Amino acid sequence: MFDVQTLLILIPVLPLAAALATAALGTRLLRGRSHVPVVTAIALSFVASILLVFQLQERIDERAAQPGSSRAAGVEEVVARWSWINVPDAMPHPVDGRAETPGWGNFNIEVSLRADPLTAVMLAMVTCISMLVAIYSIGYMRGDPGYWRFFAYVGLFVFSMTMLVSASNFLLLYVFWELVGLCSYLLIGFWYERPAAAAAGKKAFLVNRIGDVGFVLGIFLIWTTFGTLDFGGVFQSVGQHAGDWRVTAICLLLLLGACGKSAQFPLHVWLPDAMEGPTPVSALIHAATMVTAGVYMIARCTPLFAAAPDAQYAVALIGGITALLGAVIAITQTDLKRILAYSTISHLGYMFVALGTGTLLGITAGMFHLITHAFFKALLFLGAGSVMHAAGGVIDIRRLGGLRRRLPVTYWTFLAGCLSIVGVVPLAGFWSKDAILLSLHDRSGLFGGGLFEILYLTTLLGVVLIDFYMFRPLFLVFHGQEKIPPEAGDHLHESPGSMTAPLVVLAFGSVVVGAYFEWTHGFAHFLSFTPSFECLAQSGHAAIDTADKWRVATIGSVLTAIGIAAAAMLYLGSGKAVARLARAMNVFGLYSLSYGKFFFDPIYNVLVVWPLLSVARLAAWFDCMAIDSLVDRCGRIPKLAGAALRPAQNGLVQFYALAMVFGVLVLLGIMLM
């Protein structure tokens, strides 16, 4: 029963059905229990995606067993059930003799799903994290009037995310790209009474929309260049368009779309504001799943990026800048969720850097980091959520302190998360960070490696910064003397079982997952069978000698240890050392710059929002006073002409007679000439 096709369809359909059921029955029937359909549906999807992974693993084993064919063929299965739109030969054949893909110009969009290792991995990650977050939010959202609405939106979100990941043509990818944006808009603005939440939702949607404009332009260019929007068709014919400027333009535009969605450097301003939403939302959407959609898209389009090397440089560069930017800002933030948000931006930057290397090693490292990051970032967010839950909604780390003894489970899981994210040896974070460092080091050796040398160094600097901005909240919130904010009331105690269980599971995941994948080499091996990665395989990356691997690993660990020690020294002691460091930093104005989040929001306001609003008002005024009054004046011209002619009618018979005679004379003059 569980062949790949039914699984592939089952995974997205289950959450959709659950979401629709909750929406329909939520208010009257389910009320208190409206989480049941969605959580069960997501759980079943998770099981299905695990089965899918196993099915694909079997196929890969068969393929590997066949002699000689190695990884060339790749494993994929496309399910196309339903044609959305079909306009045959909508575009004339290319004039300037460019190569023509089969089925050129058929604007045939089908709702087609694709199952290959990359999709399977993403599906597994998305459904697993969603399940855990759903369970967590049973406790977190209890008693909220919009309880059913929350779960309906979460169900809708999981449906869109799973469809996005398994879409098989660019248009479908874009459709669910926007639907995911809609779900984030709805979930950020979940508590719509709070104007800040509503504004944050709108801001998120608009910034995404700006990114989507780039994405759409990319799709249009793909359509005009390749004549088809299907992944298969495009990736096969990329070969013939190697040097074409269009492919580079496409990749840059897709990058712009990815930046919009994954909150990269120019368009990252919406993610910190998105923290207005409930914390499970932040954990699910703004840490693990939605923001990684950009990374997934770039991974999916590797053939395109392979054909446009300077686009890969751009990806790496954007990634590097964002990583550094996120890390520097996160250090000085005071709101725990904002810190985690900026750390997410920073880690996404690392993934972009990894993908930017353009080598199979780099891409698998990026995806590996995506998986591990999903686990420990979700863990950290849920931990922050349980702290907020316990402390009555206060999340400002300066007002919390010494909660170690009151929230033991949260503390230990949060600690596990921190250790993992920082990259202490056995934990997952270490392996993925190490893989990225290795791929950077390897790539810097190859052609054009200068940029990657710098990126390798900045990543190492990043490793140190991670220790600071992760352990700072840990020490301030959980260590030191106990500071309990008044909002917490007297009952500051550990969160209920339904919230702590997912924390424990995630903690276990972020500890074990890295090691498991590293030792069994399963992850890289599994991923390398994605058909679209074949172009990388051919580019012949030599095996990495173990000496380099150990050297990179040791450098990474040493730096991490130094960082943790410095953080402990600074933050466990009294505040004097921190104040002195802050003043030292402020000499170059770095501290105020970092605390002010590099003033991107005010800059964007001044550069984009305010000018547009004033142009709008000008246009409104122009429309009323200029065009409208011009039209009214044209309407009044006949009346003015009438006013000019009225005096002629003065009632005197002889004047009329004179006019008649004059008329006759004029007529005579004309006729006799």
**Taking contact as CB under 8 A, which single stretch among the options 501-509, 532-540, 564-572, 640-648 is the one that binds other proteins?**
640-648
Asked if 607 is part of the footprint of other proteins (rule: CB under 8 A), the reply reads no
Any contact of residue 94 with other proteins (CB under 8 A)? yes
The C-alpha angle 595, 598, 603, rounded to 5 degrees, equals 130
In whole angstroms, the minimum distance from the beta carbon of 281 to other proteins comes to: 16
Cα dist. 305→148, 217, 291, 325, 532 in Å? 42, 16, 20, 24, 11
Residue among 120, 133, 221, 400 that touches other proteins (CB under 8 A): 221
Read off the tokens for 640: 């003015």
3-state secondary structure of 596: coil
Closest distance of CB 234 from other proteins, Å: 15
Question: Which of 193, 450, 521, 540 is the binder for other proteins (CB under 8 A)?
Answer: 193
| Residue 256 C-beta: closest distance to other proteins, Å | 12
> Among residue numbers 359 through 418, which ones bind other proteins (CB under 8 A)?
none
Instruction: Give the nearest distance from C-beta 86 to other proteins in angstroms.
Output: 6
What Cα–Cα distance (Å) separates residue 313 from each residue in 333, 356, 389? 30, 6, 43
Token pair for 296: 């997934």
Question: Interface with other proteins includes 29 (CB under 8 A)?
Answer: no
For 510-544, the three-class secondary structure string (H helix, E strand, C coil) is: HHHHHHHHHHHCHHHHHHCCCHHHHHHHHCCCCCC
Q: Quick check: 95 binds other proteins (CB under 8 A)?
A: yes
Subset of residues 51 to 90 that bind other proteins, contact rule: CB under 8 A: 83-87, 89-90
Q: Which of 65, 543, 587, 653 binds other proteins (CB under 8 A)?
A: 653
Angle between helices 4-25 and 35-65 (to 10 degrees): 170
Binding string to other proteins for residues 614 to 633, with x set by CB under 8 A, is what?
A: -xxx-xxx-xxx-xx--xx-
Comparison of 241 and 373: residue with beta carbon closer to other proteins = 241
599: alpha, beta or left? (left if phi > 0; alpha if psi -120 to 50): left
Q: Is 661 in the site for other proteins (CB under 8 A)?
A: yes
Q: Which of 91, 461, 590, 593 binds other proteins (CB under 8 A)?
A: 91
Block residue for tokens 């290959």: 116
DSSP reduced 3-state for 61: helix
Choose the binding region for other proteins from 220-228, 331-339, 367-375, 488-496 (rule: CB under 8 A).
Answer: 220-228
Tell me: does residue 671 bind other proteins (CB under 8 A): yes
Among 63, 142, 209, 541, binds other proteins (CB under 8 A): 209
- With a CB cutoff of 8 Å and minimum separation 6, the contacts of 187 are 150, 153, 154, 157, 277, 278, 281, 285
CA dihedral 625→631→632→638, nearest 10 degrees, is 150
**Distance between CA 42 and CA 14 in Å, rounded?**
7
> Shortest distance, CB of residue 173 to other proteins, whole angstroms?
10
Provide, rounded to whole angstroms, the least separation between the CB of residue 648 and other proteins: 8
Tell me which stretch binds other proteins (CB under 8 A): 127-135, 233-241, 571-579, 648-656. Answer: 648-656
C-alpha torsion 139→143→145→147, nearest 10: 20
The Cα 478–Cα 591 span in angstroms is 24
Nearest to other proteins of 27, 586 (CB atom): 27
**Cα–Cα distance measured from residue 95 to residue 106, given in angstroms and rounded to the nearest whole number:** 17
- The residue among 84 and 550 lying less far from other proteins, judged by its C-beta, is 84
Q: Closest separation between CB of residue 486 and other proteins, Å? A: 24
Which amino acid appears at position 92 of this protein?
P
Using CB under 8 A as the binding rule, the residues of this chain from 470 to 529 that contact other proteins are none
Q: Is 211 left (phi over 0), alpha (psi -120 to 50) or beta?
A: alpha
Tell me which of 47, 99, 206, 446 binds other proteins, using CB under 8 A. 206
Both tokens of 94, joined, read 């290319």
Can residue 242 be called a binding residue for other proteins (CB under 8 A)? no
Minimum CB separation of residue 361 from other proteins in Å reads 35
CB-wise, 584 or 664, nearer to other proteins? 664
Binding-site member from 47, 179, 460, 555 for other proteins (CB under 8 A): 179
State how far the alpha carbon of 135 is from the alpha carbons of 36, 40, 382, in Å. Answer: 10, 10, 11
Binding to other proteins by residue 650, rule CB under 8 A? yes
Q: How far is the CB of 58 from other proteins (least distance, A)?
A: 35
C-beta separation of 165 from 289 below 8 A: no
Which residue stretch of 192-200, 324-332, 379-387, 496-504 sits at the interface with other proteins (rule: CB under 8 A)?
192-200
202 near other proteins (CB under 8 A): yes
Q: Is 668 in the site for other proteins (CB under 8 A)?
A: yes
